[in-house]
Structure 1
Amino acid sequence: MTSRRHFIKLSGLSMAATALPLRRSRPDAKPIILLKSSWNDKNIGDIGHTPGTLRLLERYVPEAQILLWHAAPRPVTEALVAKNFPKVRLISGGFEPDKPDSPVTRAFNEASLYIHNSGMSMNYGLFNFEWGNTMSHLAPMLYCRERNIPFGLYGQSFDKFASPADLIYRDVLNQAAFIYTRDKESLKYLNENKFKPAVLEFGPDGCFGIDVRDEEKGVAYLKQNGLEAGKFLTVVIRTNTPPLDGAGKGNLLNPAEPTPEQKAENLDWMAKMNQLISNWVRKTGLKVLIAPESLKETKYGRTLLYDTLPDEVKAKVVFREQFWSADEAMSVFARAHTLVGMEPHSLIMALALGVPVIHARALWHGRKGWMFRDIGLNDWLFDINKTSAETMNATLMQIHQDYPQAKEKARKAMLVVAERQKASMQVVRKLVKLAS
């Protein structure tokens, strides 16, 4: 829980916001939360952050009007939000504070609180050294500081502040009303680097709050592919491969031109996934769904994994050709036996549904890889570069053989998540009430 000292500091920052003119259009207006979210429509996690955090805000701060800011168009996420969150108002456009009549500037000037949603955008020198990208995230917070608008970061991972970016990050983020890190390694990193916002605590990724579904599409897909509820394993992969055409330029996680070492790593990863799938099919007789965490894996998941499976195993495996939105994925995951994934967000969605998961990730993908350890699931977390397929197979078989115990373990992990969600949202609600 927030310490007394932190809460006094938090209250002081929040009270300062009440002096701001033009913050409320009329005295009886609802408080306004401005949420910046939805970083990408081509990755299930970047879609899932938004409905997850929106659900938490609606549940714990029902008196607030929520404005969702999309700096760039996100048609997939926007359709999902319009369907499931009809009271949320979308604000579109770039941040241009020199244009006081722009929708984004007006939204900031009316906001009781600004929140930068979950992700790993608060880094410099990790994926690139682009000041423009860095400032696109920090400039709104500088504006908030100038205007006494409280701001916070929800469910973030922090991996690198290359010099001299550490100076500006520390200066800006020390003014935050709260920073919730989605993994405790990021919390440790900020403490070591002397970051001291009003509240600095562990707070899970916003995607954990997700509860949206598209039952019509999800059930139809399962029926079409002969996948029975509770009788199929879902596997979600990650490869060192370039984005598909038009999906953006390469970076650390999606190299435009994979090195020989990265190509060799792909082969090693997929060989382990091949063994895991083959073992599951041969030992249980149950099916497997290979599902995409990101758009690009609808191509590379086939060529690097599905096509390499033995024919008798392949007969029991369904490869999903099309990328999907979070609501259809949720309806499918809700009926899966277990999820094995190399990226966390499909697994987060499954856990939110009470489905057991195994996370086999590469450590260099960042501190977000510790999320499952930090909610009590260390036994289901593996470094894929150092863990044999046999070890992961043994864990998967243990889940299968004592499935009720595995379900209970997933439930207890979500109780940890729920406690942190409640605590963090209580801080959000108090801030909103003080600033409105």
Structure 2
Amino acid sequence: MNTDNRREFLKKTTLSFLPFVLPAGAEGESKGAHHSFKNPTILLRSSWNDNNIGDIGHTPGTLRLLERYVPEAQIILWHAQPRPVTEALIAKNFPKVKIVQGAFFNQDESVTGDLKAAFEQADLYIHNSGMPMNYGLFNYEWDSTLSNLAPFYYCIENNIPFGLYGQSFDKFAPPSMSLYRDVLNRAAFIYCRDSDSVKFLKDNQFKTPILEFGPDGCFGIDVRDEEKGLAFLKQSGLEDGKFLVVVVRTNTPHLYASGKGDLMNPAPTPEQQQQDSLRLGKVKDLITQWVQTTGLKVLIAPEALKETKYAKTMLYDQLDADIKAKVVCRETFWSADEAMSVYARAHCMFGMEPHSLIMGLALGVPVVHARPLKHGRKGWMFRDIGVPEWLFEIDQDPSTAITGAVMAIHQNYPTAKAKAKKAMDFVKNRQKETMSVVKKLVLT
């Protein structure tokens, strides 16, 4: 794709405000001048964590969308840190995708090796779904802020379009606002996975040419591990369509970082422990009423590695014996493909985390999300895709309302299934529209 073609495209679309920076007199030597538009390259930064199936799930979801809607493109996946679980999943399901690893900068060293070659080859750089574009929400670490923004500045200096796909934005503490606004205004697109993030950016005078709602990349996920999933269901005595999935999140330390606490709660306080007790009390009420009313089973499933321990000790072990007999608590972690094979057989799902529920919706399974507000704006995505009645606030809404929503799904199951399908039809339409922008950027 040559520089003249790219500039002409930008002039003819809403991207005309994008101020790519080229050194004086360098137009003829700019990156991309030697590339063929028939074989464009998209560089995707993704895969934030192997210990959370949501952080795993973003990657195959967005890769599937790119594969489906931009089949001409060569995809390079960038992992800033090794992600062996995700990499095995990608190798199995996306054998054509090349994976590169490495930090963008390391002390006195700038980008080098395979990562540098990937940027030199790229016709578009995409930062995949998540919420790292915040400062002061979870921490005040400039290193992490710069590690996310530095690749964008590299793209600006080298005339590489870049965009953000399925992001949430919650906080730009001083003095970060002007820095984020400077670089993100020069993006080709920002797709926010919730409309509140779109409003937040616009209210703070962000002027990115395309700044719209675009679903979390995880909505595109379709990978399965049927062998493992079916084996687990058989071993656990869970029948197709006859169990509720429950996913919790607690204010407890990561299992692999003893003493440091959870990312969102570096040192759980007595108040946070009390918060866990109240939250899990509501979940206990839900499980109890589900079992007593429907006679169906419950699977307590982990979205994060650490909950394989804490969901058992803080929820499962606290259930009454007669209820516990109908509940399965998974005590081993899993990858997103095995989880998908299990979720596909669920009757419905309840979760305090959103991404297992995203996977459920992608499979046509009705879901209820009771979010902790500290998780940020991302929970609003359920309202935005058309199921606001399935969204609650775990600390504010009463147990009766949350349980009532799950029971209503059971009582009116065909209606709930139709509602889940309608929500996913909306998601798929937006996926198609967002990917059309990606395709034009790399093929024009």
- Partner of 2:242 in structure 1? 231
User: 2:95 aligned to 78, 86, 102, which one?
Assistant: 86
Aligned-pair distance for 1:8? 2.6
- Partner of 2:384 in structure 1? 374
Q: Which runs of 5+ in 1 are unaligned?
A: none
Deviations 1:238-281 (A, max 9, x none): 1111111348944552x232111111100001111001001000
CA distance in 1, matches of 2:262, 2:230: 36
CA distance in 2, matches of 1:28, 1:59: 18
- Partner of 2:3 in structure 1? none
User: 2:190 aligned to 179, 184, 190, which one?
Assistant: 179
- Partner of 1:32 in structure 2? 41
Deviations 1:366-405 (A, max 9, x none): 0001110111110011111111221122211111011111
Give the stretch that moved more between structures: 191-200 or 22-31. 22-31
Indicate conservation of the 8 Å contact 1:236/1:341, yes or no.
yes
Q: Which runs of 5+ in 2 are unaligned?
A: 1-8
- CA 1:11 to 1:20, structure 2 compared with 1: closer, same or farther past 3 Å? farther
Aligned-pair distance for 1:356? 0.2
In the TM superposition, 1:208-247 aligns within 5 A as 208-246=219-257
- CA 1:316 to 1:198, structure 2 compared with 1: closer, same or farther past 3 Å? same
User: 1:407 aligned to 417, 420, 431, which one?
Assistant: 417
Indicate conservation of the 8 Å contact 1:25/1:110, yes or no.
no
Q: Secondary structure at the match of 2:299?
A: strand
User: 1:139 aligned to 144, 150, 153, which one?
Assistant: 150
1:396 and 2:406 are equivalent in the alignment: yes
Indicate conservation of the 8 Å contact 1:243/1:256, yes or no.
no
Indicate conservation of the 8 Å contact 1:340/1:359, yes or no.
yes
1:276 and 2:286 are equivalent in the alignment: yes
Deviations 1:186-231 (A, max 9, x none): 0000000011112100001000000000000000000011000000
CA distance in 1, matches of 2:28, 2:426: 37
Counterpart amino acid of residue 82 in structure 1: A
- Partner of 1:107 in structure 2? 118
TM-score normalised to structure 1 length = 0.94
- Partner of 1:323 in structure 2? 333
User: 1:427 aligned to 423, 426, 437, which one?
Assistant: 437
In the TM superposition, 1:11-50 aligns within 5 A as 13=18, 21-23=30-32, 27=36, 30-50=39-59
Structure 1 outlier segments of 4+, above 2 Å: 4-9, 11-29, 96-101, 245-253
- Partner of 1:152 in structure 2? 163
- CA 1:24 to 1:350, structure 2 compared with 1: closer, same or farther past 3 Å? farther
Q: Secondary structure at the match of 2:428?
A: helix
- CA 1:426 to 1:26, structure 2 compared with 1: closer, same or farther past 3 Å? closer
- CA 1:390 to 1:380, structure 2 compared with 1: closer, same or farther past 3 Å? same
- Partner of 2:173 in structure 1? 162
1:67 and 2:72 are equivalent in the alignment: no
- Partner of 1:77 in structure 2? 86
- CA 1:19 to 1:293, structure 2 compared with 1: closer, same or farther past 3 Å? farther
Q: Secondary structure at the match of 1:293?
A: coil
Aligned-pair distance for 1:5? 10
- CA 1:166 to 1:340, structure 2 compared with 1: closer, same or farther past 3 Å? same
- Partner of 1:128 in structure 2? 139
Aligned-pair distance for 1:336? 0.2
Counterpart amino acid of residue 155 in structure 1: G
Indicate conservation of the 8 Å contact 1:182/1:203, yes or no.
yes
Aligned-pair distance for 1:320? 0.2
Aligned-pair distance for 1:6? 9.2
User: 1:312 aligned to 313, 319, 322, which one?
Assistant: 322
Counterpart amino acid of residue 15 in structure 2: L
* Percent identical: 63
Aligned-pair distance for 1:84? 0.2
- CA 1:412 to 1:6, structure 2 compared with 1: closer, same or farther past 3 Å? farther
1:288 and 2:326 are equivalent in the alignment: no
Deviations 1:256-310 (A, max 9, x none): 3211111110000111100100100010110000000100101110111000000
Count residues with an aligned counterpart. Answer: 430
CA distance in 2, matches of 1:128, 1:100: 25
TM-score normalised to structure 2 length = 0.93
- Partner of 1:200 in structure 2? 211
